[in-house]
Structure formats: structure tokens, C-alpha cells
Amino acid sequence: MDYDLIISGAGPAGLCLARALSGHGLRLAVVEQQPLAALEDPAFDGREIALTQHSAQLMRTLGLWERIEPHALSPLRDARVMNGPSPFAMVIDHALGKRSELGWLVSNHLIRRAAFECVQQSRQEHADITLMASESVSGVRTDAEAAHVTLASGVLLKARMLVAADSRFSTTRRAMGIAADLHDFGRSMLVCCMTHDEPHHHAAWEWFGYGQTLALLPMNDDPATGEHRSSVVLTLPSQDIDPLVTLEPATFNQEMARRFDQRLGRMTLASTRHAYPLVAVYPRRLVGQRFACVGDAAVGMHPVTAHGFNFGLLSIDNLAGTVRAAHARGADIAAPDGLARYEQTQRRATLPLYLATQLVTQLYTRDNPPARALRTLALHVGERFTPFKRLIAASLTGGG
């Protein structure tokens, strides 16, 4: 079977790339190991995605935004960064930017569902996307003329270009011989939705406690009960997370209220609980012969900066623009110079923040006395240095 482009992975990145390229005269194939039912109705996975204003605009352009119920789009107005038991916070106020909010929070499974619906609409309108669910890539090779893909079922595919969109641990990227630098933080994060007594005023918290890191992502009040609601993220050494996942709900509620130092009042579990290991990944290369990486396959960020999916959407926008422009002028969509420009653009956008994130997480997860003092000093200096806070606000909004 011959295509112009094969996308390995039908997560949000792979589906959004297919949507961005559909309707431009390209024959597209998307290969995904999950069954079709899981793509049509993705399960809640605990993760709330913080979207910059730029990412929200890209989702509007792709048609995802209007497919998500308004009550599920929660404005992120401000951000608070705290250290240890002190109530002091460095506050990133939305007034530092140009909008009434820094960005938006949306559940990951809703983004996945919206992306799938958009791809289905494109398939109906343009008949240019072949979706191969319950399949996986077992072998790849590329030459000067084409990318050759072997599926686990034995089916052979050929295309002018292959794109990896199959997670930060991409088997497709690895099959192309591209190494990646991995940083395992030795920690895991527990994520869930909880209701609580005290309002969050649509401010996100990043609380670097001693021995733990807490994050609160403000959701809209529960539409049925009116209770204040947030996505809660607790990061601990991996061996300490598993017992909390299975803890009896009433005891879990008390434990989380204690860990939040009662600052939210009574807290009540309102969803299933999910645990994820914290591993950051940065590939040595983002492109190869007739090959490119997008989404988490291009950079797997630590969630502390909330930029994972934003960088994913940026990679899709950049690569789709490169491919569409080449195709429009009758050029090779996988020409080395075009792929090199894509790689350079994406690296300039992601590598500085990736490295800065590594430094921040190393400083703010050390609990020795000098590190605690330095952490406190950094927050107090940052709170008083408005240009620095404006820079953070610009990062959170994506320049929007």
C-alpha cells in the first residue's frame, strides 16, 4: 500500500497531524495499536492538560476546541509557586499578559476524543486518511525514495515520509536508530480529580514541599453539585505512590487534605486515581532520512512547566506547515533541507526550556538546608522582579 505520509501513533499528536494535513491532496495513513473503540471513547486518565493561548488557537484552527463542552474548558488565570511550609508564593498574575487568563485546562481524554472526531470528519470530507487501529509498527527502513514500514500483522506499507507520534518512549524512533537522552527522576506522580471546600480562584499551584511536590490545577466547579473542583497532582518517590492509589477513599481524602496542609479544607475524591513515572526524554535527533518525530516522540517534558502537549502542538504546526508548503510547490515533502529546518525550529523552541526544567526540578526536589534556603531566596527574588514574572507569564500563554 502506498501513501504520501505514514503516522505511527494515534494519540492527540498523531491525530492532530493527520487533521492538519488532510484536505491538501496527500494520502495519509495512521497506525495505532489501540483498538478503534478506545480511540472513539478514550477513558479518563487523570491528566489535565494546561494549554497556552497559542495552543488553544491551534486547537480552534484544527476544529477541536468547539467539540469540547464549555464547562470542561477551565480558565487558568494565575499561577502560584510555593516552597516548604511557608504560605508565601511567587504569583504569576494574568495581568502580566494581554488576556484575562494565562491559558486553559482541559482533560486529556477530551482532547483525544475531539481529535479523533476531527479525523473522522476529515475522512468523510476528503477520504484521504486511512486509520489502521489494532495495529503496530514492527519494522521500518528508509531509503532515498521511500519509507518502508512493516506492521505486526505482516502488512507492508510504503510512503514518501514516516512520522513518529507514538510517545516519548517511541519504538518507531528507536527503530530508525535515533537515540534519546532519558532522565528518570525516580519519582512518580499520582493524579486525580478532587472537590474541596476552599475556592481556588482559578489559580494553579506548584507547591514544592519538603519530601513531596504538590500541584493543583483549577477546574470549573462541579456542574452537578457546584462544589469547588481541581485536578490534584502529588509527586513522591515511586515506592510511596502505589499504596496511595489503592488507599480506601475516606482515608485517601484525609491523607490528601493533610498533605495540602488543610489549605483547601475538606477534600473529596471525585474520580479514579492514576499513577505515572516521571521520565523526561530528549532525542539526539528529531529527523532522519524521510523521517520526523512529533509530539512526545520529539520531546518528553517533566510536567512541572506544563508544556508537554503545547510543544506537541507546536511540532505539529511546524511540520505540517513544512509538508504542506513543499507539496503545494510540487517538491519532495521529505526533502532533507525541509526536515532540517523543522528540526532547527523545534529545537530552538524546546531545548532551552527542557534544560531549564531539569535545573528547576533538581533544585526544588532537594531538601538539604542549603537547597531549602536557596529555593526560598529564589522565590522571594522572583516575586519582586517583575520582568522575570512577565517572562514566565509569556511562557505560560505561549506568546498569545
Higher pLDDT, 396 or 49: 49
Q: Give the mean model confidence (pLDDT) for residues 273-295.
A: 96
Residue ranges and CATH numbers for the domains of the chain are 2-75+105-182+280-364 (3.50.50.60)
Gap between the Cα atoms of 157 and 243, Å rounded? 45
Residues constituting the chain: 400
Phi-psi region of 52 (alpha: psi -120 to 50; beta: other; left: phi over 0): beta
Higher pLDDT, 128 or 96: 128
In the Cβ-directed half-sphere of 340, how many Cα atoms lie within 13 Å? Answer: 3
- DSSP class per residue in 75-102: EE-EEEEEETT---EEEE-GGGSSSSSS
Q: Give the mean model confidence (pLDDT) for residues 162-179.
A: 97
Gap between the Cα atoms of 101 and 304, Å rounded? 19
Instruction: Report the Cα–Cα distance between both ends of the chain, in Å, rounded.
Output: 42
Gap between the Cα atoms of 350 and 102, Å rounded? 19
Locate all alpha helices (DSSP H) within 290-333, ordered by sequence: 308-328
Please give the pLDDT value at position 305: 62
* 107 contact partners, CB below 8 Å, separation of at least 6: 44, 47, 48, 49, 72
Dihedral of alpha carbons 132, 12, 164, 17, sign: positive
Q: Give the mean model confidence (pLDDT) for residues 250-268.
A: 98
Please give the pLDDT value at position 74: 97
267, containing H or E segment: strand 267-269
The DSSP letter of residue 300 is: B
- Residue 202, Cβ neighbours under 10 Å: how many? 18
Contact 252, 269 (CB under 8 A): yes
The mean-pLDDT minimum among 65-69, 97-101, 154-158, 359-363 falls in 359-363
pLDDT of 57 > 70? The answer is: yes
Please give the pLDDT value at position 304: 66
Using one digit for the tens of pLDDT, what is the confidence trace for 294-347? 999 999 988 766 677 999 999 999 999 999 999 999 999 999 999 999 999 999
Q: What is the C-alpha radius of gyration for the chain, rounded to an integer number of angstroms?
A: 22
Percent of the chain past pLDDT 90, that is, above it, reads: 82
pLDDT band of residue 400 (cuts 50, 70, 90) is very low
> What is the residue-averaged pLDDT of the chain?
93
Phi-psi region of 53 (alpha: psi -120 to 50; beta: other; left: phi over 0): alpha
Please give the pLDDT value at position 306: 60
pLDDT band of residue 399 (cuts 50, 70, 90) is low
Using one digit for the tens of pLDDT, what is the confidence trace for 343-383? 999 999 999 888 888 877 777 677 888 888 888 888 888 88
User: 8-30: buried (b, 16+ CB within 10 Å) or exposed (e) per residue?
Assistant: bbbbbbbbbbbbbbbeeebbbbb
**Measuring CA to CA, which residue among 212, 169, 165, 204 is closest to residue 188?**
212
**Grid cell for residue 388:** 522575570
Please give the pLDDT value at position 96: 84
pLDDT of 395 > 80? The answer is: no
Q: Give the mean model confidence (pLDDT) for residues 232-260.
A: 96
Strand bridging mode 203-208 / 78-83: parallel
